[in-house]
Chain A
Amino acid sequence: MHIDARKLDHDALIEGDICIIGAGPVGISMALDLIDSPYKVILLEGGGFEYDDKVQDLYAGKTTGQQYYPLKSARLHYFGGTSGHWGGMCTPLDPIDFTKRDWIPNSGWPITKNTLDPYYARAQKTVEIGPYEYSLEYWQKHTKDLNPLPFENNVIWNKMWQFSPPTRFGDRYKSTIVNAKNIHLYTFANVVDIRANEAISEITGVTVTNFSGKKQQVKAKYFIMACCSIQNARLLLAANTQSAKGLGNKNDLVGRYFMEHLEIKSAEIYLNHADPLNLYKLYPPKVRAELAVTAEKQQEYKILNGTASLSPLEIAKQQEPNIQSWNKKDPREAMKNLEKSHEVTKMDKLIMRLTKDIYKSFELFTRIEQAPHPDCRVTLAEEKDELGVPRAALNWQLSPLDKYSIRTLYKIIGEQAGLAGIGRVRMMEYLHDEKDFTWPKSTGAGWHHMGTTRMSDDPKTGVVDATCKIHSIGNLYIGGSSCFVTGGAANPTLTAIALGLRVSDTVRDKLKNNV
């Protein structure tokens, strides 16, 4: 069922069992999961079904610290959310990502990868990819010519990826959601306030509004915030009428430990003999591998988890760094550039034809987690948006461990290339000096927002508990990547959806058991 909130009366009351705030990939996945349940689900979306620049502007904010993309462009504010510019790359986090790593301050999740495995398997279906299989051996049985580089497998392993079409959740699931009897989708319903009981132990309702100026109240037994890292933190911090620090923020943790994946051109590998390297190809039919360092070696070298992807150097040299091509204030421009970066261009095709798609040199491109840091955070700016909510302010900070880890990753790959006798690796200039911890202008990120309501069993170190419930509030859950403790080397969408599905199961069980 779909209701346009602009057409509702001022002060109308909307009631349900579960209220999901945000209709992006995580919010929609949870709603899909709750279809045909006996529960009335209110799904709130701030925008409509199409891009609207005035609505999108509600996401504009301020950035400081390391150069970052305009916040207005980094997330999309309409039904389907940021899946509208998603690249579709899927892989789960690794077991080591969940562990406490003594060389990475503030690492360690209160759950293991095993906890998420069944939810990953379910998330695979929502994003329309193959089986929950990520071993090279499995894919070698099903796809021809997936030959790995001859590296020692106790040092380097091949992290496999599957590719979603990519699923644009708005287009793909609109009719399913709108036709579901128990899902009540409200568009143009921007949450501007969250209210709790006097003890601030239960959420009693949220206020939604739009540019019509009318406001409605939403009441539910359970609330799940699924607006992604920056907006989740912003809403919790802005809900400060009952608690000056905002909701769930007794220990001053909301908004802290924001994380991105560093994405940056880092090195080149020159092979002795030309090779198509099909396993690592940029435009694969189904799967692709990236080079990753084993957990044992990460521990030995005390580095973060990251991967190196390979692109033929001739093709890679045609591509601008992400920080330049996605750095547009108008999200539509940024989106166009993102799509271009995933396209096989006329030029690429020409190069492939001339080289017979066999190459001697490849660019090595890094995707790596950043060390979680409390000062890398989202706060409220002084300026307010058109609906009266303070805008988000992001201070993106990187650390020496981040750069040390990138450099070490390529030292390890370089040593493996030498040992295997296949060629040599050359790092890019910004990695030459091991004592230099500055970052070049090409330093980019993946538009992967994580952290800000991190998970921990201890309220002093995390905003949500292991079930993604805000510690001090009985009926407020967070779905998605803002609960991440560390980022791993995996793009976050699959894990965010898996976590969301786990939350919807938890809430469903609570309702069933009348808790």
Chain B
Amino acid sequence: MDRRTFIQLSAVGAVAVTVPQIHCRANPDNVLQFPGTLSSICDEKTICELGQAYIQNHPSENKSSRLQDLLLSNTDGKEMSSSTDTEALAVFLDKKIVADFKNANTVILKGWVLSLTEARQCALYSLTSA
């Protein structure tokens, strides 16, 4: 392998490792603040930045309690309790996220096309981890 190829390859390796693969250190037990799919794609810092960007665009949601209320209710008026078991809550949130994408209930934060629910999860994470 010549020197030029080696240097290029090192750069490629760095891209391949750092961009898609760093896992979030958010607490997976707290599903409300754990955007599952997103945290398998981007790192904790990015999730915090996305959360901050969301709050900047939606200052009325700048409180954990408000975000929790919004995350625990859906458009059908159904509400979950924060004490609901983790698995049921995760299923509830997953359904909300799919419904968001289905209904174009999305936001674009720093270029990421996110469901409103997962954007709020990022926001909650950024508030609670600050």
Contact = CB atoms under 8 A, between A and B. Distances in A.
Interface of A: 267, 270, 272, 313-314, 317-318, 346-347, 350-351, 354-355, 360-361, 410-411, 413-419, 421, 423-429, 431-432, 434
Given A317-B15, A415-B101, A418-B101, A427 B108 contact: yes
B37 interface: yes
A418 B110 CA distance: 16
B9 A427 contact: no
Contacts of B15: 313-314, 317
Contact of A432 (B5, B40, B106, B110): B110
A416 B101 CA distance: 7
Among A355, A360, A410, A431, the most chain B Cβ lie within 10 Å of the Cβ of A360
12 contacts: A270-B19, A270-B20, A272-B37, A272-B41, A313-B15, A360-B21, A361-B19, A413-B113, A414-B112, A417-B113, A419-B98, A427-B112
A318 B8 CA distance: 9
A431 to B, nearest CB: 7
Given A272-B37, A347-B8, A424-B37, A415 B113 contact: yes
Contacts of B67: none
A494 B110 CA distance: 39
Given A270-B41, A272-B37, A418-B101, A424 B114 contact: yes
A390 B17 CA distance: 55
A413 B108 CA distance: 12
A314 B16 contact: yes
Given A318-B8, A347-B8, A415-B101, A424 B16 contact: no
B115 interface: yes
Contact of A415 (B12, B20, B106): B106
A61 to B, nearest CB: 37
A414 B106 contact: yes
Contacts of A313: 15, 19
B102 interface: yes
B104 interface: yes
Contacts of B41: 270, 272, 423-424
A399 to B, nearest CB: 21
Contact of A425 (B21, B112, B115): B112
A365 to B, nearest CB: 15
B111 A427 contact: yes
Nearest to B110: A432
Those 5 A-B pairs whose CB atoms lie nearest each other, nearest first: A414-B113, A418-B101, A419-B101, A427-B111, A270-B41
Nearest to A431: B111
A428 B97 contact: no
Contacts of B40: 272
Contacts of B113: 410-411, 413-415, 417-418, 424-427
A422 B109 CA distance: 19
A426 B111 contact: yes
A208 B106 CA distance: 61
A347 B5 contact: yes
B31 interface: no
A407 B9 CA distance: 32
A417 to B, nearest CB: 8
B111 A429 contact: yes
Nearest to B13: A354
A266 B104 CA distance: 20
Interface string B92-130: 000001101110101010111111000000000000000
Given A314-B15, A360-B20, A421 B8 contact: no
Interface in B67-86: none
B110 A350 contact: no
Contact of B106 (A267, A360, A411): A411
Contacts of A360: 20-21
Interface in B45-64: none
A432 B101 contact: no
B38 interface: yes
A411 B109 CA distance: 11
A410 B111 CA distance: 10
Contacts of B102: 419
Given A351-B12, A410-B113, A423-B37, A346 B106 contact: no
B9 A350 contact: yes
B111 A415 contact: no
B108 A411 contact: yes
Contacts of B106: 411, 414-415, 418
A419 to B, nearest CB: 4
B38 to A, nearest CB: 6
Contacts of B38: 424
A255 to B, nearest CB: 38
Given A347-B8, A360-B20, A414-B106, A267 B37 contact: no
B84 to A, nearest CB: 22
A425 B97 CA distance: 15
Among B12, B97, B113, B115, the most chain A Cβ lie within 10 Å of the Cβ of B113
A267 to B, nearest CB: 7
Nearest to B46: A426
B90 to A, nearest CB: 14
A410 B19 CA distance: 20
Nearest to A152: B102
Contacts of A354: 9
Given A318-B8, A360-B20, A411-B106, A267 B111 contact: yes
A260 to B, nearest CB: 25
A246 to B, nearest CB: 46
Given A413-B113, A415-B101, A415-B113, 18 more contacts: A267-B111, A313-B19, A314-B12, A317-B15, A346-B5, A347-B5, A350-B9, A360-B20, A360-B21, A414-B108, A414-B112, A417-B113, A418-B113, A419-B98, A419-B102, A424-B113, A427-B108, A428-B111
